[in-house]
Amino acid sequence: MQITASMVKELRDMSGAGMMDAKNALSENGGDIEAAMDWLRTKGMAKAAKKAGRVANQGLVSAVSTGTSGAIVEINAETDFVAKNEEFVSFVNAVTEVVATNGATDVEAIKALPMGDATVGETLTGLIAKIGENMNIRRASTWSVESGVVKSYVHMGGKIGVVVALESDSADAGKLETVAKNVAMHIAAANPLYMDRTSVDADALERERSIFMDQAKSSGKPENIIEKIVEGRVNKYYGEVCLVDQAFIMDTDKKVGQVITEAGATLKGYTRFGLGEGIEKAEEDFAAEVAAVSAG
């Protein structure tokens, strides 16, 4: 039987499933809409898709590292309760290991990766159907160095995760490992916006400089003094937002960059994920919810 676009649309409207999933379901069931719907439900696709619109800003950040490589992943769920579910935790950890092994960071590419007898995406869909909450793989990042160390750190039970990469040809391995871990802990606590001065957003810097200039001019000081005041405040700004310019939390007499240099290493880069950052939780309209239930 020919599967028409209108049939696919009807099944998508009924199930909330994706276009290809709906088409495959119809093909597998000879165009029978009800049988295709049951097929989707059996596969967990309909149930998962209906939950896809619900905001998921809880979950876990997981990070792993082994020697010269590491990975960090954020996977979201709707509630903190599910974030503590053993199956969810195991899934997050397994995905992180898969990402670390494969190196994929694109979400769709991650979903296509094999995990046991299924793909990551299929396993996720099954977990959504079983637990009953919307979940999604939000983002991932990997780091590696040819010589040196990559270190991961997870804080607050998965609320914050960090992976930091230090390059070195000569540093003592034990010392470098310790420094990398301490820098990762610093990043988790201080949340630097940029790695160094060269990576600072030009527009953001110009806004700050403009504000500093207006403040300095209002003091009535001479022009040459105003310039010095502005440069001093710009340097202070760098010390607040740039990792290498920040005072090291474990020894505030030193900058983070100095600590790394003294260890015989250079900072290749880092990734810090804060759980749910940037995800806005939809406001619940209680009256509308009651009305919808009553109408049903």
| Three-state secondary-structure class, residue 151 | strand
Q: Identify whether the C-beta of residue 265 lies closer than 8 Å to the C-beta of residue 179.
A: yes
Closest among 207, 273, 256 to 234, alpha carbons compared: 207
Please tell me the class of the 201-241 domain. mainly alpha
Which residue, 95, 91, 61, 291, is CA-closest to 184? 61
Cα 212 to Cα 4: distance, rounded to the nearest angstrom:
64
Which residue spans of the chain are classified as CATH 1.10.8.10? 5-50
CATH of 58-190+264-274, one of 3.30.470.10, 3.90.870.40, 3.10.20.340, 3.30.479.20: 3.30.479.20
In tens digits, the chain (296 residues) has pLDDT values of 789 988 988 887 777 777 788 888 899 999 998 888 877 766 666 555 556 556 678 999 999 999 999 999 999 999 999 999 999 999 999 999 999 999 999 999 999 999 999 999 999 999 998 898 989 999 999 999 999 999 999 999 999 999 999 999 987 889 999 999 999 999 999 999 999 999 999 999 999 999 999 999 998 889 999 999 999 999 999 999 999 999 999 999 999 999 999 999 999 999 999 999 988 654 444 454 445 434 54
For 118, phi then psi, to 5°, come to -135, -175
**Residue range(s) occupied by CATH 1.10.286.20 in the chain:** 201-241
Q: Could you tell me where in the chain the CATH 3.30.479.20 domains are found?
A: 58-190+264-274
Domain 5-50 has CATH 3.40.50.300: no
